[in-house]
Amino acid sequence: MTVPTITLNNGVEIPQLGYGVFQVPDAETEAAVSCALEAGYRSIDTAAIYGNEEGVGRALRASGIAREELFITTKLWNSDQGAAAAAFEASLERLGLEQLDLYLIHWPAPGKDRYAQAWTALEELYADGRVRAIGVSNFLPEHLRRIVDLGGTVPAVNQVELHPGLQQREIIDADDKLGIATEAWSPLAQGAMLSNPTITAIADRLGGTPAQVILRWHIEQDRIVIPKSVTPSRIAENCDLFGFHLDTDDLAAIDALEAGQRTGPHPAKLNA
């Protein structure tokens, strides 16, 4: 399987399809990530708060895959926004890596008013070569503007909840204008859209599955996606996306499913 890459605003290439490990217990993470690596995924998305960076690290080492073929993302948790450098080193240690590919501020947590300070710390890690690209997650346009107005590094990525039920057009527009790549978390709405009749009708017509149709809808729009599954058949299914296309009518039918439907918290409200 050859996964296309997206070139970030600093020239670094990220695979358009990655594998997410939110809610996978550490003890099960090595097996899940090993399965994903065997299926052909090379990009893994974890976070300090997921508690499974060590499991990811074990799978990476066991795979024997060359470091430069892998793309590893982890995230700075909200309570560490005032101590980003130490949190970064602890994540790297747990992952067993010398250098990270992408480090994200997990949430703006605007009530703490520390994300701009955290961004400056990430810029230092980037300048020191500890991480190949830095970005943000769950940033609304107002949060993006605040850090871009600092006049330093523009985030390479904004990872946000994004699926047919929550299409985030304002955020995509802000990301595009600033040259920030949009990465979709919960790209399958945690399974909630898989029995939607519009999706199942397209899947039946094309001989694919509902998950493949939704992931292909993301891919056709040049978006980065990181579906999660601990089920080997689904891990394989979710990366078998590159032999078919959706036509403009299919894309428009899925675009019409916008419903303002979140699976996670609103970024303006999460401050813990």
- Give the residue with the Cβ less far from ligand NDP, 151 or 186: 186
Residue 21 interacting with ligand NDP (CB under 6 A): yes
In the window 132-161, what residues touch ligand NDP (CB under 6 A)? 137-138, 159
Whose CB is nearest to ligand NDP?
20
Catalytic residues, by residue number, are 50
Site for ligand NDP in 29-68 (CB under 6 A): 45
State how far the alpha carbon of 220 is from the alpha carbons of 190, 200, 246, 249, in Å. Answer: 20, 18, 8, 13
For ligand NDP, which is the closer residue by CB, 190 or 200?
190
Stretch that binds ligand NDP, among 63-71, 76-84, 220-228, 241-249 (CB under 6 A): 220-228
The piece of 15-23, 35-43, 83-91, 174-182 that touches ligand NDP (CB under 6 A) is 15-23
Asked if residue 186 binds ligand NDP (CB under 6 A), the reply is yes
Q: How many residues does the chain have?
A: 272
Q: How many residues bind ligand NDP (CB under 6 A)?
A: 28
The residues, ordered by sequence, that sit 6+ positions from 197 with a Cβ below 8 Å of its Cβ are none
Residues 5 and 184: their CA atoms lie apart, in Å, by 15
The residue type at 264: G
SS3 of 133, please? strand
Closest CA to 218 of 187, 189, 181, 239: 187
Q: Which of 119, 121, 227, 239 binds ligand NDP (CB under 6 A)?
A: 227
Report the residue from 30, 53, 101, 237 that binds ligand NDP according to the rule CB under 6 A. Answer: 237
CA distance 201 to 245: 15
Q: Is 151 or 214 the residue whose CB approaches ligand NDP more closely?
A: 214
CA dist., res. 14 & res. 3, Å (int): 10
Site membership for ligand NDP, residue 264 (CB under 6 A):
yes
Decide if residue 112 touches ligand NDP (CB under 6 A).
no
Q: Which two tokens stand for residue 177?
A: 């204008």
The bridge status of strand 43-45 relative to strand 71-76 is parallel
Residue 74 near ligand NDP by CB under 6 A: no
CA dihedral 254, 259, 261, 266 (to 10 degrees): 110
Interface with ligand NDP, residue 101, by CB under 6 A:
no
Q: How far apart are CA 8 and CA 181, in angstroms?
A: 7
Binding site for ligand NDP (CB under 6 A): 20-22, 45, 106, 137-138, 159, 185-191, 194, 209, 211, 226-231, 234, 237-238, 264
